[in-house]
Amino acid sequence: MEIKSVILAAGKGTRMKSNTPKVLHKIMEKPLLGYVLDNVKDIVNEAYVIVGHHAEEVTDYVNSNYSFAKTVLQSPQLGTGHAVSMVCPYLANFDGLAIILCGDTPLITESTLKKFIEYHISCGSDLTVMSTIFDNPTNYGRIIREDDNSLKCIVEEKDATAEQKAVNEVNAGIYCLNWKKIKPAFSQLTSNNAQGEYYLTDIISWGKNQNLKVNAYILENNEEIYGINSRANLAEATRIMNTRKLTSLMENGVTIVDPSSTWISEDTEIGNDTIIYPSTYIEGKNKIGSNCKIGPCAHLRGGVEIADNCKIGNFVEVKKAKIDHNTNAGHLSYIGDSEIGANVNIGAGTITANYNPLTKVKSKTILKDNVKIGSNTVLVAPVEVQEGANIGAGSVITKTIPQWALALTRAPLRIIEGWVKKNS
């Protein structure tokens, strides 16, 4: 069965107090919307992202990163039901499942979405809502069930009675629809509520009136639908995601010496028997091999591939670099936009000067196998150091160094006897 998704990403996110649209705020350098799109990309054939606030910025991000997704403008923004109605012209003849999600829920997982869809199909539902249980359900829409346990309706907090507010099963904001049957609802929604908006939740009562089969699927881990509405929410979601990632890595043979000070992005792969030392921060998409040592106080900024048996040590920063096996960068170095061979040793304080501030061009540094770089070396890209060459400490390298050569750029040492006493 063909499946498409609709992702709600039009909101301003007023409580973020930011010029950046809420769905483009980042966790580990990846926008919130990116997490949602990544978690549906292997499930759906096509995704429609509803945009509104700063629509051009969100559209640029989607178009630059996700070929299976397209954006649809909601203007004016008249509620969640109105937002979904924007895709009706694009899905006029669609006869499959539509999954509706929010773009500010980065913790939802692909596994959960698959179980949700399987539940919808197995129950023969026409419409299924994902729900979850909160001890404190304040600010969430309440799930109201029929006597037979099917879904009766969802009541928003501002419209709920005292009895309904006491219900702790809440709307998780994710829907699975048999699109052809539910599509007519979006032209029949009304705005007769406290907010004067067209609520997506009203498709439940519409479906009941049409004698359609409506159900609710309870999500066990309520952290997965944690929404981002403030900077505090963003920090908490980051913490939850990081804890989840570190736990997964440790379960798969990676040593995290101090989980409380270690941050590793969801998109980083690490091989078994690698040790991550304290105060290490790894963001973006990276691949680290087995038997490596990373940190303490290392920073990997994304686009990094590190082969087996490597060491990235104290206060080393790496970004967009490929590093082959048995290579060491022990401390206080910057490795950017580089290809580093096997059995290379990079001395302390080495810098790849990869950016030209006048042309704004970033160039590549290439170090072939068995190269040795002395401490406090600057490699001014584009530059290549060929196999086996050695660079003397304190050198500035601006052109290709041939294999097995020694390269030095160092002023002669002068010793002036008695200078200190004469000038004291």
Domain count for the chain: 2
In a domain, 107, yes or no: yes
Is 331 labeled as catalytic in the residue annotation?
Answer: yes
The answer to whether residue 232 is domain-embedded is: no
Share of the chain above pLDDT 70, in %: 100
Q: Is the dihedral of CA 53, 55, 57, 61 positive or negative?
A: positive
Residue-wise pLDDT for 5-54, tens only, equals 999 999 888 999 999 999 999 999 999 999 999 999 999 999 999 999 99
Distance CA 56, CA 52 (A): 9
**Domain limits for position 261:** 252-407
Task: Evaluate whether residue 418 is within a structural domain.
Answer: no
- Cβ-based neighbours of 124, under 8 Å, separated by 6 or more: 213
In the DSSP assignment, the letter for residue 74 is: -
Task: Give pLDDT tens digits along the chain (424 positions).
Answer: 899 999 999 988 899 999 999 999 999 999 999 999 999 999 999 999 999 999 999 999 999 999 999 999 999 989 999 999 999 999 999 999 999 999 999 999 999 999 999 999 999 999 999 999 999 998 888 999 998 889 988 888 888 899 999 999 999 999 999 999 999 999 999 887 777 788 898 899 999 999 999 999 999 999 999 989 999 999 999 999 999 999 999 999 999 999 999 999 999 999 999 999 999 999 999 999 999 999 999 999 999 999 999 999 999 999 999 999 999 998 999 999 999 999 999 999 999 999 998 999 999 999 999 999 999 999 999 999 999 999 999 999 999 999 999 999 988 889 999 999 999 8
Residue 285 lies in a domain: yes
Residues 270 and 201 in one domain: no
Using H for helix, E for strand and C for coil, what is the string for 19-62?
A: CCCHHHCEECCEEHHHHHHHHHCCCCCEEEEEECCCHHHHHHHH
What angle is formed at CA 146 by the lines to CA 145 and CA 151, rounded to 5 degrees?
50
Q: Which residues contact 172 (CB under 8 A, 6 or more apart)?
A: 129, 130, 131, 132, 219, 222, 225
Joined tokens for residue 264? 């590793």
What is the chain's mean pLDDT, rounded? Answer: 95
Q: Which one of 53, 120, 299, 331 is the catalytic residue?
A: 331
In whole angstroms, give the CA distance from residue 319 to residue 89: 43
* CATH value at residue 292: 2.160.10.10
Q: Which of 179, 206, 225 is the last residue of a domain?
A: 225
Residue 287 and residue 207 share a domain: no
pLDDT of residue 422: 92
* Residue 230, in any domain of the structure: no
Residue 14 and residue 73 share a domain: yes
Whole-angstrom Cα distance, residue 31 to residue 234? 11
Q: Which two tokens stand for residue 10?
A: 């039009």
348, 216: one domain: no
Quote the CA–CA distance of 205 and 209 in Å, as a whole number: 6
Residue 258, in any domain of the structure = yes
Residue 90 sits in the same domain as residue 155? yes
- Predicted local confidence at residue 173, as pLDDT: 92
Say whether both 221 and 281 belong to one domain: no
120-165: pLDDT as tens digits = 999 999 999 999 999 999 888 899 999 888 998 888 888 889 999 9
Whether the model clears a pTM of 0.85, i.e. scores above it, the answer is yes
Q: Where are the beta strands (DSSP E) in 114-161?
A: 127-133, 142-145, 151-155
Q: Three-state SS for 325?
A: coil
Which residue is listed with tokens 């895709």? 87
Asked if 384 and 366 count as a contact pair (C-beta separation under 8 A), the reply is yes
